[in-house]
C-alpha cells in the first residue's frame, strides 16, 4: 500500500490564501461601514441606538450607589417588635403535641384570659434583653425618674464612686469592650447624661401614642440604646457599692442582699463587676438575683410570668418582693429566665 505524503508548499499556499481572504473581508466591512456613516441619517440612528448605553450605564452606577447608601442609612435596629396577639404567638411558637408545647400554650392562654394581657412585644434576645425589656416599659408607661436620680448631677457619679476607694472602676467594660482604662470616666459621664436626658424627655410626652413612637425610634438606634443600657448597669453597680457598705456597717438592707453577696462570685462590688456585670451585653445577661437589684435601683416592682413554670407557685414571680408601695410596676414574660418579652396591658 502506498503512503500519502503531504506537500508543505501546498499547505502554505492554502493558509496564505485563507489569510488574504479574511483581510479582504475585514477591509470590505470597514469600507462599507465608513461609507454608510457619511450619511447623516445613518449616523443619527446609530447615535440614538448607542446613547442609552452610554448614558444609562453611569446613571445605573450612580443609582445603585445611592441605593446602597440609603439602605445602610435607613437600616433599622429591630430591638422591639410590633404588637403581637398573645394567643396567636403561643400557638405559632409552640406547635405540636409534646407535653412542653401543650404546657406553654396553656400558659399563654392563662395570661390572656385570667390576667387580661391581650398583646405583647417581642424583645430582641441578645445579652441586653432584660435591660431592654424593663427600660422600654419605663419609658413607654411614662414612669418618672426615681427621686435619687432626679435630684443629683449624674455626670459626677463616676468620680464620686472612684473617690470612695473604688479605684478598680477603670476595669469596667462596656458590653463587648473589655477594657477602656482612663477613658471609662468620660464615657460613663456621657452615657449617664444621655440616659437621664432621654428619660426626662420621653416622660414629658403625655400622649401615649406619641410617647410609644418616640420609644420605638430610640430603640431603633443601636448605639444610643447600648449607651443607655451601660448607664443602667453602672447605676446598678453604684447601688451594690452602697449596699455592701451598709451591710458591713450593720445597717438594714433589702432581703435579696443576703443571697446576692453570699455567691462565691460576688462577695463584694469588685467581684460582682468582674464576674457578672462586665459580661452583661457581651457573653451573658442578668441573672435572676440581679433582677432584684435592677428593680431596687430604679424603684420598680418587676412582676414576671415565668411561662415554663406554669402550674406551679413560681409561675408568677416578683422582683422586688419587699419593695415600697409607691414603686411602679412593670411586667415581663419569659420562657427560660433569659429572654424577656413585654406584655402590653396599659393601652
Active site positions, annotated? 126, 129, 339
Gap between the Cα atoms of 272 and 261, Å rounded:
9
Q: Are the beta carbons of 304 and 332 closer than 8 angstroms?
A: yes
Residue 144's contacts (CB-CB under 8 Å, 6 or more residues apart) are: 150, 203
Query: Smallest Cα–Cα separation from 194: which of 159, 236, 142, 235?
Result: 235
Query: Smallest Cα–Cα separation from 303: which of 276, 333, 260, 345?
Result: 333
The CA distances from residue 107 to 86, 114, 125, 204, 262, in Å, are: 10, 10, 20, 36, 33
Instruction: Classify each residue of 38-63 as buried b or exposed e, where b means 16 or more C-beta atoms within 10 Å of its C-beta.
Output: eeeeeeeeeeeeeeeeeeeeeeeeee
The DSSP secondary structure of 225-272, one letter per residue, reads HHHHHHHHHHHHHHHHHHHHHHHHTT----THHHHHTTSTT-SSHHHH
Q: Is 343 exposed, middle or buried (0-12, 13-18, 19+ CB in 10 A)?
A: buried
Q: Which three cell numbers stand for residue 173?
A: 467594660
Amino acid at each position: 500500500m502506498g503512503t500519502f505524503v503531504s506537500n508543505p508548499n501546498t499547505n502554505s499556499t492554502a493558509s496564505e490564501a485563507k489569510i488574504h481572504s479574511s483581510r479582504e473581508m475585514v477591509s470590505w466591512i470597514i469600507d462599507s461601514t465608513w461609507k454608510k456613516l457619511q450619511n447623516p441619517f445613518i449616523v443619527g440612528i446609530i447615535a440614538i441606538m448607542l446613547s442609552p448605553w452610554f448614558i444609562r450605564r453611569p446613571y445605573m452606577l450612580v443609582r445603585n450607589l445611592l441605593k446602597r447608601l440609603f439602605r445602610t442609612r435607613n437600616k433599622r435596629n429591630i430591638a422591639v417588635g410590633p404588637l403581637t396577639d398573645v394567643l396567636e404567638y403561643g400557638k405559632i411558637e409552640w406547635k405540636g403535641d409534646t407535653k412542653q408545647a401543650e404546657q406553654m400554650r396553656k400558659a399563654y392562654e392563662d395570661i390572656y384570659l385570667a390576667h387580661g394581657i391581650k398583646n405583647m412585644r417581642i424583645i430582641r434576645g441578645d445579652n441586653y434583653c432584660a435591660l431592654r425589656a424593663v427600660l422600654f416599659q419605663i419609658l413607654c408607661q411614662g414612669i418618672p425618674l426615681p427621686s435619687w436620680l432626679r435630684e443629683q448631677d449624674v455626670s459626677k457619679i463616676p468620680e464620686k464612686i472612684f473617690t470612695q476607694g473604688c479605684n478598680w472602676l477603670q476595669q469596667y467594660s462596656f458590653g463587648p469592650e473589655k477594657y477602656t482604662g482612663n477613658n471609662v470616666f468620660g464615657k460613663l459621664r456621657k452615657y449617664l447624661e444621655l440616659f437621664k436626658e432621654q428619660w426626662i424627655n420621653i416622660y414629658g410626652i403625655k400622649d401615649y401614642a406619641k410617647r410609644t413612637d418616640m420609644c420605638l425610634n430610640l430603640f431603633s438606634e443601636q448605639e444610643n440604646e447600648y449607651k443607655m443600657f451601660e448607664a443602667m448597669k453602672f447605676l446598678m453597680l453604684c447601688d451594690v457599692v452602697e449596699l455592701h457598705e451598709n451591710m458591713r456597717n450593720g445597717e438594714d438592707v433589702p432581703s435579696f442582699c443576703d443571697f446576692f453577696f453570699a455567691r462565691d462570685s460576688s462577695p463584694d462590688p469588685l467581684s460582682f463587676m468582674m464576674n457578672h456585670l462586665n459580661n452583661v451585653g457581651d457573653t451573658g445577661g442578668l441573672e435572676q438575683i440581679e433582677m432584684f437589684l435592677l428593680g431596687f435601683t430604679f424603684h420598680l416592682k418587676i412582676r414576671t410570668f415565668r411561662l415554663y413554670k406554669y402550674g406551679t407557685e413560681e409561675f408568677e414571680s416578683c422582683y422586688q418582693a419587699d419593695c415600697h408601695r409607691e414603686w411602679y410596676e412593670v411586667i415581663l414574660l419569659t420562657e427560660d429566665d433569659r429572654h424577656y418579652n413585654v406584655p402590653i396591658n396599659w393601652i
